[in-house]
Each structure stands twice: as C-alpha cells, then as structure tokens.
Amino acid sequence: MAITTCIFDAYGTLFDVAAAARIAASEPGREAFAEKWPQIAADWRAKQLQYTWLRAVSDTHCDFWKVTQDGLDYALEAAGLQDLVLRERLLALYWELSAYPEVPKMLAALKAAGMKTGILSNGSPRMLSGAVESAGIGDMLDAVLSVEKLGVFKPHPSIYRLVDGHFAVRPKQVLFVSSNGWDAAYGAHHGFHTVWVNRAGEPMDRLPTSPQHIMRDLTDIPQLAARL
C-alpha cells in the first residue's frame, strides 16, 4: 500500500530544540551560561521528555509548556545557574525555535509529490502554532495534531490513532518520522512505516518494536516516501 501521508514529530525532528540555549549562549553577558550551555540543553531536553512519560504513567497530565518549564528549572539548578532573567530569556527563545536547514526543501518536495503532511506532537496547540509560524512552514503542512486533544503524552497508543482518524488513512499509508527512537518504535508498533532521525548517532532503544529506517537528517524523506 503506497504512502500517502508523511507525519513528523515536532521538537527535535523539525525544530532544533538546542537553538534556544545556543542563541542565549552567544549573547553578551552570558559567559557563565556559555561555558555550560551544551549540558544544560541536553539536561533540559532529557527532563522535558522524562516528565512527559512520568505524567503519562501516573495520570497527572499537564500541557507541554509546563514540562518544558520544569525541565529547564531542573537543568539550570543542576548547573548551578538559578538566574531568573536567563530562565525567562531561554523560555522566550523556545517559542522561536528554528527549523533544521533541510526542512523547508524536504516539505516542499513532499507537497510537490502530492503527499499530505502533518505534525503529531506532545506540544500544546499554542506552542506548535508559534514554532510553525517562526519556522515559516505553515503553508507546507496539512495538519498540526497535538496530544492535548486526548490529554496524554506519547507513546500512548491513542496518540498515533489521531493520524488515522484525521487523515482517513490506514497506518500502512503513513510514513512517520521522529528524532526520538522510542517514538518511531511505537509508531511502528501502531503500523506506520517509520523513520528514526538519529542525528547524534545514538544506539537503538531496546523496545518491543523498532523503526524500520534510520537517517541522519530529513533530506532523503521524499525519496523514501516515494519508494514505499
């Protein structure tokens, strides 16, 4: 069954989640932060994700902006930088994340080939709207789907079913792309064709299923979608 629909995770897949910390580190007067920003960015992202999983399994859902703030607070405290001005600057920059360089051309190629495109993300609708607008890719997306519709984070099975219902497709008609190996794995468990965008060269997660394809960036997604 041919692929008709390409769905992307947002943060870390289309949008560079390290951009907020990287930009702040380049600003005058932030020398102390500049020395530690890569570790802070890594801790921020790790805790952001961990808090989604913990809230999902404990049935204590909140929106993604809350776990984004909580993750940052942990990361700054771990680095010994409890600076409220820096905190507010980093959070402001998170609303202006840039897309990875290959994203606009990749999405344009998918649309030119007649594919439906969309986002499936833990992000709240308001956060996703800001990111899409900041990156200038709104006209290349047919839908932006948020877990807030269901009130539970990935990888709950109901989240992946949002795609089936919205686009009126069978899972095998969908190519699902995520920078999180666990997300791509559970997308595969749902029945999607999946790609893990493994930019950092990390090992495969040990889970019941695995993504069928691994890429270092998004450049070749249109070619893969056309072959499947």
Q: Active-site residue numbers?
A: 9
- CA dist., res. 184 & res. 39, Å (int): 25
HEC sequence for 49-112: HHHHHHHHHHCCCCCHHHHHHHHHHHHHHHCCCCCHHHHHHHHHHHCCCCECCCHHHHHHHHHH
Nearest-angstrom CA–CA distance, 33 and 98: 21
Angle CA 135–149–94, to nearest 5 = 30
Q: 63 and 124 in contact (C-beta within 8 Å)?
A: yes
**Please, are residues 188 and 171 in contact by the beta-carbon 8 Å criterion?**
no
Residue with tokens 């008609």: 173
Contact 193, 176 (CB under 8 A): yes
